[in-house]
Amino acid sequence: MTPIPVEEMPDAPLANRPTSLGSTASWRTQRPIILLAKCTKCGVCWKFCPDVAVEWDEAGYPTISEDHCKGCGICAHECPKDAIRMEREAD
């Protein structure tokens, strides 16, 4: 199966609402850190987040919902500008 190019993806994330499991933050071993200086506000992180954990601030930059992010790293992997890095969760 050939992957769909980002440009052809719908203007919505893969999932359409946060997980119904409630807070999943306790599962996380790594957290995404958004590097605003590199971010172009393209929305790729939002489109690929399987948990709809990417939200937007007043300036249009992505933010991460700490309650719904499980730390899978898909956002960091898919970011075309390497504007998201994964950081180990504090012990």
Domains and CATH numbers, the chain: 35-91 (3.30.70.20)
pLDDT tens-digit map of 54-73: 998 999 999 999 888 989 99
pLDDT tens per residue, range 18-63: 555 566 667 789 999 999 999 999 999 998 888 889 998 999 999 9
Q: What is the Cα–Cα distance from 80 to 38, expressed in whole angstroms?
A: 10
DSSP code of residue 28: -
The secondary structure element, H or E, covering residue 45 is helix 44-48
